[in-house]
Structures are given as C-alpha cells and as structure tokens.
Chain A
Amino acid sequence: KAGVTQTPRYLIKTRGQQVTLSCSPISGHRSVSWYQQTPGQGLQFLFEYFSETQRNKGNFPGRFSGRQFSNSRSEMNVSTLELGDSALYLCASSLALGGGYGYTFGSGTRLTVV
C-alpha cells in the first residue's frame, strides 16, 4: 500500500516568490495535516483538512494557506516567501480528524528560500 507522497522533495525559491507543495495521503485517509520543522522552533502545526474543509489552524501568518481536494489530496501555498520560511514541510494523513487512528507522515519537502 502506497504511503504518503509529498512533492517536490526539494525546492529552492527566491524571497518574495510563492510556492505550492503537494501531499497525497494514503488511500482511504480523509484527513491531511501540515507541519513546519525548523532547527530553531522544531515541529509546528500549520493546519489540518478533512473533507475539503480546514478544521484547525496553527499560529502562522495568512501567507500560509492550504486546500484539500475531493480525492483528499492537499496542497499548501506560501506567498511572499521570507528567508525564515526555509524549513522542512511535512504532511501527515489519518483516517479521520485528530490522531485517534494514528498519523502516517510523508518524507517532507525541504524548502530553501534565498
């Protein structure tokens, strides 16, 4: 059974640009959550989607947004990139909202902003 797929794996962008990251969950999983990992702040929750609706949002500026499609695939977008947005972005999928059924993580997208 295929795992959680994140694309691309690596990305280099220039300050001020925007970027879109993709996450394909495990088949049958309806919840997708996104996380940012930096050396300074560690792992931080960005947002969670279930049935195409954002159900929960972390403490990030509005430049960070996301969406979920009817096939449960999710994208996150960061506009007007800043150097501090350089991070590993991870997504995780779950059968339902929250971790009651456990989470399966993707390998992440490493974003570098120059």
Chain B
Amino acid sequence: KNEVEQSPQNLTAQEGEFITINCSYSVGISALHWLQQHPGGGIVSLFMLSSGKKKHGRLIATINIQEKHSSLHITASHPRDSAVYICAVEWDSGYALNFGKGTSLLVTP
C-alpha cells in the first residue's frame, strides 16, 4: 500500500528554536507538497517540490528522491508558526494528492 508517513506527530518548541518536520513515502512520486493548516481549517500551500531544496522566508523544504524523504525546516520559530503541517504526495501513477497525518506544532513564547 502506498503510504505517506510524517514525524513527529506533535511538536512543542520555544520561540526562536529551529524546527524540523519529516516526511517519508513508499514509492515513486512526481511531486511533494508541504501544506499548513491553522485552526478553523483553511489550508495554505507552502511548497511544491520534485527535487532539491526551496526556501521562503524562514521556511526551508528539502527532498531526497533516492531516499524517498522530505523535510520541512522552520528557522527562528515564532508563535504564529503554530499550526498543523501536512505533507502530501502525488504518486507517479496518478495525480491525486495523498496526505500524511500531519504534524501539530505549538510554538510557545
């Protein structure tokens, strides 16, 4: 069965800390997405990756296609970063998004 695994499931950090969220998947993909969901439900697309690394402000996303692994890093974390971060992949075999269970991040002042 094609799977997307995220770790950790829950994460608490102090403001200013460097945060890493991991995502592993089981078979070949055409793209990997990192999404952010705040309480209330709205989802924001942070990154779409098929190789290498992308950076946007304090957020960095990397992907290693050979190891089937991606990481989302948050530098100098802030309480407004508190949200659920979701990894989603598009398998080589189709377009549909397949989601990890999410990582719930709480950044305390």
Q: A66-107: contact bitstring with B at CB < 8 Å (1 yes, 0 no)?
A: 000000000000000000000010101000011110111111
A103 to B94, CA, bound (A): 16
- Whether A64 is near chain B, meaning CB under 8 Å from some CB there, is no
- The contact of A105 among B30, B45, B48, B90, by CB within 8 Å, is B45
Interface residues on B, range: 20 to 34
Q: B85-97: contact bitstring with A at CB < 8 Å (1 yes, 0 no)?
A: 0101010001111
- Whether A51 is near chain B, meaning CB under 8 Å from some CB there, is no
Residues on the B chain within 8 Å of A88, using CB:
41
Q: How many A-B residue pairs have CB under 8 A?
A: 60
**With A103-B33, A110-B41 as contacts: A58 and B96 at CB distance below 8 Å:** yes
Chain A contact residues: over half helix, strand or loop, or mixed?
Answer: strand
A56 to B96, CA, bound (A): 7
A98 to B31, CA, bound (A): 9
A102 to B56, CA, bound (A): 15
- Whether A25 is near chain B, meaning CB under 8 Å from some CB there, is no
A55 to B90, CA, bound (A): 14
A90 to B41, CA, bound (A): 9
**With A42-B102, A43-B86, A103-B33 as contacts: A98 and B95 at CB distance below 8 Å:** yes
Residues on the B chain within 8 Å of A99, using CB:
31, 33, 48, 90, 95, 97
* CB proximity of B54 to chain A, nearest CB, Å: 12
Residues of B near any A CB (own CB < 8 A): 30-31, 33, 35, 40-45, 48, 86, 88, 90, 94-102
Q: List 12 A-B contacts (CB under 8 A).
A: A42-B102, A43-B99, A45-B99, A56-B95, A97-B95, A98-B31, A99-B33, A99-B95, A100-B31, A105-B44, A107-B42, A110-B41
In addition to A33-B97, A56-B94, A103-B45, 16 A-B residue pairs with Cβ atoms within 8 Å of each other are: A35-B97, A37-B41, A42-B100, A44-B99, A45-B99, A56-B96, A92-B43, A97-B95, A98-B90, A99-B33, A99-B90, A99-B95, A100-B31, A103-B97, A107-B41, A107-B42
